[in-house]
Each structure stands twice: as structure tokens, then as C-alpha cells.
Chain A
């Protein structure tokens, strides 16, 4: 049992930390790819990566380095920058400061100060790599601290659901951008960069060797059941955590959550390779995106913003026990 508002904060803490990490990694790749002298591929990758972050095509904007800087330190509320993600994660942590461990708070707080201080840099292009590395390190450490210091109870489950829904949705966006392209246009270089964006190059090489083809990549990023950033892995993790919070449940709204999460997991556990590659790939990915949205909404309806009337004593759902 925990306050609905607290569950909501945990959920968003999970989402925003994942988003911050993803943004760090993509910006890192944008800046590295842009370095490749004369390589058109590098520019394409940089542009694709910026598009995945929701930025308009670079050419029309301010130049890669300036834009990356904005997406790192920009503080405008509607901007999806590292700063805004870290700030939002920390605000959610502050909301539930009494529920999280001091270790979690201190790590998130020090990351926040790192981003604030980083914004003072005079030479972003030179300092950026060290900054991204340190920030990603903080975020990895945060996840380790969460797992290692916090009780694996309800709060942990909500945090994990947020974490993996965000991860799945971000991956869907990346896959969608890449599957849109004609096979040849992505090329070895592009596929390698995609794997890097998912932090998956090394694990991929281990199973697939240095053979970069769309169907192999799809097989790995969508259907692999061991790689912690594949869609299938995300879906199973979401289902596990939703099952854990929903197990206490006996009402329809919760059963709805478990069903939706189970259905997504089932979809990915039993998909055929054909269904996720080629022409079918895009539709399949779109379906996964829709399922993620559905789960997200169902969780809100079941645990967080339910109507008071149906939970009052005397209503069919009971309450006050």
C-alpha cells in the first residue's frame, strides 16, 4: 500500500532517468558521428539521432554542436533536454524524499549539480564527452543503487515499470526511424551506430558476429530475450512488475493492467521473425508503441487517478480496509 501520488512519482522518476540516459547517449553519438571527416554517413547518423530526440533537421537549425548543447543544458520547460529530464527526475524524487533511500537521493542530487555546473562550460565541444560519460555513469550508478538499497516493494515496481516503458518507447522510436530507411541507406555504419544508441553493440557481436543486416538487427533488438534493452526483454520486465503490484488486486482495473502487459509480452515472446522484418516490421513496431501507451494509461487508471466514488466504502470495490 502506498499513496497514489507517491506511486506516480516513482513511475516518473523511472521514466525520466531512462530518458536522461538515452539523451546522453544519443548526443554522444551525434557529436562523435559528426567528427567523421567527409563521411556523409556520419552526418546522416547525426541527423537521425537528432530526429530521434525530437529535434528538427540540423541543416535548418543552429549547427550540431550548438544544438547538442541546447539539448544538454537547455532549461525551457517544453524542451526534452538532459537538464529537464534530470530536473524532473529529481523533482519526483523530492516529492517522495521520505520514501527513497538517502543513497538514491544523493546520487540523483549530485547528478543534478553536475548538469548545472556543466552548463558553465566555455568549451562544450571539448568537455562534452567527459560530461556525457560522467552523467551516464551517474545514471548507471543510480539504477544500481535503486536495486541495491531500496526494498523491492511497490515503489520499486512502479519505478521499474516507468523505466522499462520509457525504454521500450524510446527504442520503438529509433527502430521506426531506421526501418523507414531503405536498407542500403543505413549501411554497416548506420546499423553499428543504432546498436551503439541502444548500448547494444558488444552484446550484439557476441550473438550475431560483425554481420550487420536489418533482419539480424531486428531479431536482436526486438526479439532477443536476454539483452536488457530489447523490446522483448522490456515487455517481460514490465509484465513482471505489473504482475507484482497487481497481485494484491482484485478489481477490474488492475486485471486490465496485467492483461495488457501480458498481451504485449506474449506478442513479443511468440512473434515470428517474418513479422518483425521487412514490410511487416513497421506495423509490428507501431503495435508495440500502442500497447505501451495502453499499459501506461491503464496503470494510471488502476492505481493513480481512479475515481473516488468507486472506491468508497459501500461501493462494489470496497475500500477502507
Chain B
């Protein structure tokens, strides 16, 4: 480590949040701050970045930031904004400052995620099998069977390795105490992994020395791991299975990611119109005739994969795909119907699900959740709407939400009516403040709220890439990190060894 600035040694003014200097606009609030502890000292693991910021000028950082933006635009690392007629491609702003996760924190997260995905897969195998958890009365029957994401077509279907959720993106946040808490699971077609990889590329180039010194764990193997997992799903009957990525097409907001993954895995990127099913076997239309497909990594929602089984108006899917799947001639990842387990109401039951199937206590907590379907809980919600966040069960992407403390009286009463009309469709949670992390905004380092989405792969075994997409709410004070609502992203550095404390580093350099 290079020489630590004098300021750390003598605690002089100007290098602390809120004081004149690089952190002048850095306001510590009641939220947990990733970089500074409550007294304004940098936390273990962040010292390298802290030192770098203390000695960098704003112009240098501005140039690095501009460089990242340019690179992303040139490479076409873009997502599509719906409703913009002309310029539909935007880059998700990538903040130049990495978010750092110390090794011991990651260790707990990793165990927590693996436990969670394992339990969710067992849960899915149960509800699409014997339904013991329902018959025993642990979970209300109508909550599962009445869910829009429940797929009767999956009943009794044998899924390779019992893995319904092959790619899982679980969002976690940190509460005021700094504990990681699961916010939601994304079990259908989670996206964002291309940003995990692209952000790493860009930020590594911006801070090479810092990156080397921090001993960050690599994320580059994700595409290889993904391909190995996908091939493993069909390996029992095909020595060298042919894998394809199924995309809705260039107009989908995540098209870049679909193409990105297909390119890095070396697999064809297909659309529904490239596929055909004959005698329960899936083929793709190629220049040398029809070729058999064994595994489909689909980035198309359940409802659209097969117009014969699901939405008849879908043009994004393949007629007959579900029959081929049920016949065991093709594997679809993630399995159709997996979404029933990431329902916002089922979420409230996930600690019980973990307990039930694994007989373990959950390693990661969830946010306290009130189910409006339960009479007494609903009454509590209606009485406390101004303090709670209310979410529609079936919505995602930050839509259909009421944030009580920020809502007007009219909005609250409007939402109260909605809840009364259809209580089962709503859940409520206390407002929780996300943790804040240093973010480069208009030439200054400021606090912004972040969450964390790692990617968990499950096939024959479960693997977790040591890295994540950290989403950041770029508007000051905002808690909404969704890219569709003005969110950005950050590279996430998972450190490989025990982080050095400020004292240890300062001591080493003297």
C-alpha cells in the first residue's frame, strides 16, 4: 500500500465526510454507509479507495467517468427504454467508484444464497409434485394454486437435478444496522449479469493499481460456468448437448445481454421464429437444414414461450415447446413455473420454507412482511399506510408501489381502496433505508443508496460467482434503484482475503 495520507494519522480536518475536501458533499445519514463508520472513519476494505479519493482531483475522475460512458456507448452496452420513439437505446449509467464487499461478509452471503436457492428448488419440486407443504397446511393452497405464475403444465414434470431455478438473481439490501437482508428473489429471467461483467472490465481499467492491491476475486468465468451448468442439464442423454439462448429479439430491453451471453458462451442466439417443434423434438432452422436443440436458456417470460400452452397471442415463443419439454426431449432453463416462488406473498413464507425443507434457520433474514390477505395483518396495514411500503404481488420493476412516507393523502386513500378491493394482491413492509455508498456525481463524491444482486447458478451443483450487480439510485435520497426508474450500477468488488484496517495499513506504510 502506498503511503497513507497524513490526514488519517492525525485526523486532521478536510478528509472526513461533510468537511471541506473531497468528501465535502458526502452526507452520512441514518442509513448504514458502506464506506464510513458512524465516526467518519473509512471501514476495513475501503481504505485503498479512500486514500485514492483523498489524493485525486475532480478533473481526473471526471475524465475517467467520461471514458467509461464513451466505451459503453461504443460497445453498445445499452438497454432499451420503452416509449421513446427515436432514441431508444440508453446506457445504464455506470458509476466509476466500485462498491466493496469484504471477504467475511461475502462468505456469509454465499452460504445464505446457497441455502435459499436449495430450499426454493425443493419447494418448487414439492408444489409441482406431491404438494406436501400445501397438504400439511404450512402454506395456503390458494396462494400457490391461484398465483398467476403457477403453471399447471409443470405438474409431475421431471426436472433435471431437481433444479427449477437455474439462474437466480436475489436482491439484498443492508438495513441501518448493516445486516444484509433479502429484498426479493428473481427466479424467472433475472437480468443484469452483463453489467456485472462489463462494469468490471471498465472499472478495472480505470483503477488498475487499486484493483491489483485490493486482491479482488474475478468474475470472468461466469459465462463458462453458465454454459457448463446448461450443458449439465442434458448431459444424461446427450454427450454434447446443443445449447441455445432464446431472446425475444432486438426490441427487448435486455437484448444486449442476451447477445452478450450468447457470444461469450459461443452458442446460437435464437428467436422463437428460428425454432420449430416436430414429433416433440425442437429444431432450429439453419443454413444447412434443421438442427436439433437440447437445452434452451430462455430469456423469454413463461407466458410467451409456447402459444399452445400459454398465451395464444405470443409470437415470441415456439408452438409445441412445452410438449417437447414434458416429453423430456429438451430442457428449458429456468423451468417454466419457477416464478411462483418469487411471488411477493410467497416471499413472506421463505423463512418457513427454509426451515421446512432443510431444517435450518435462515442465514439471511428477510424484510418483515405483512400479508393483506390475512385479515388482522390487512387491518394493521390500512392503519399504517403512511409508514409502510405497499407492493402489488404481481408487479416488478418498481411499478405498482406505494411508498407511504413519501405519498400524498390522496395517493394513500387511493391505494387503500385498491387494497380493500383486492387484499390478496398486496403486501406491505416497513420502509427500510438502503445502505449508502460513495458515488461520483457531477464532479463530487456523494452518498447514494445501493442494493446488491448476485447471480447463483444451479444445475448438478450450485455455484455463486464472487461478484454482483450493485444497483444505485442516482437521484439524491431516492430508494428506487431500478434501471427503468433512473437507477445506475456499480462494479462490485468481492475481496479475497481479510481486509486490512486503517491502523494496520497506516502502520505498514510508516
Binding site for B on A (CB under 8 A): 1-7, 91, 94-99, 102, 105-106, 109-110, 113, 154, 158, 245, 248-249, 303-304, 306, 308, 311-313, 317-321
Contact = CB atoms under 8 A, between A and B. Distances in A.
8 contacts: A3-B268, A7-B287, A91-B250, A97-B76, A102-B75, A106-B74, A110-B74, A312-B278
Contacts of A105: 75-76
B76 A4 contact: no
A5 B273 contact: yes
5 tightest A-B contacts by CB?
A98-B263, A97-B259, A98-B262, A319-B289, A319-B290
A88 to B, nearest CB: 12
Given A2-B287, A98-B263, A248-B288, A106 B75 contact: yes
B270 interface: yes
Contacts of B74: 106, 109-110
Given A105-B75, A110-B74, A308-B276, A320 B259 contact: no
A245 B250 CA distance: 27
B6 interface: no
A245 B287 contact: yes
Contacts of A7: 287
Contacts of A6: 268
B275 to A, nearest CB: 10
A7 B263 CA distance: 16
Contacts, number: 87
A195 B281 CA distance: 56
B283 A320 contact: yes
A96 B262 CA distance: 10
B250 A95 contact: yes
A91 to B, nearest CB: 7
Nearest to A7: B287
B217 interface: no
B240 interface: no
A243 B143 CA distance: 61
A311 B288 CA distance: 9
A249 B75 contact: no
B274 A313 contact: no
Contacts of B76: 94, 97, 105, 109
B111 interface: no
B250 to A, nearest CB: 5
Nearest to A95: B250
Interface string B260-298: 101100001111011010110101111111111000000
Contacts of A311: 289-290
Given A1-B287, A3-B274, A245-B287, 17 more contacts: A1-B288, A1-B291, A2-B287, A3-B270, A5-B285, A6-B268, A7-B287, A94-B255, A98-B259, A109-B76, A113-B73, A248-B288, A304-B287, A317-B289, A319-B289, A320-B289, A321-B291
Given A97-B76, A106-B75, A5 B271 contact: yes
A249 B73 CA distance: 41
Contacts of A94: 76, 250, 255, 259
Contacts of A110: 74
Max chain B C-beta neighbours (<10 A), residue from A5, A95, A110: A5
B263 A97 contact: yes
Contacts of A319: 283, 289-290
Nearest to A8: B287
B259 to A, nearest CB: 4
Contact of A1 (B255, B259, B262, B286): B286
Nearest to B267: A98
A77 B278 CA distance: 37
A95 B273 CA distance: 13
Interface in B236-261: 250, 255-256, 259-260
Interface string B65-101: 0000000011110000000000000000000000000
A149 to B, nearest CB: 14
Contacts of A306: 285
Interface string B366-408: 0000000000000000000000000000000000000000000
Contact of B287 (A96, A154, A308): A154
Contact of B269 (A1, A98, A154): A98
Nearest to B275: A3
A282 B273 CA distance: 42
Contacts of A96: 269
Nearest to B279: A313
B290 A320 contact: yes
B70 to A, nearest CB: 10
Contacts of A1: 286-288, 291
A308 B268 contact: no
Contacts of B284: 3
Nearest to A4: B285
B278 A4 contact: no
Nearest to B269: A98
A311 B268 CA distance: 20
Contacts of B285: 3-5, 306, 308
B286 A3 contact: yes
Interface string B132-145: 00000000000000
Contact of A313 (B259, B262, B278): B278
A312 B274 contact: no
B292 A320 contact: yes
B484 to A, nearest CB: 21
A65 to B, nearest CB: 25
Given A98-B269, A106-B75, A318 B259 contact: no
A148 B30 CA distance: 57
B290 A2 contact: no
Nearest to B288: A1
Contact of B290 (A102, A109, A304, A308): A308
A316 to B, nearest CB: 12
Contacts of A320: 281, 283, 289-292
Contacts of B263: 97-99
A254 to B, nearest CB: 9
Contacts of A303: 287
A288 B166 CA distance: 55
Interface string B316-332: 00000000000000000
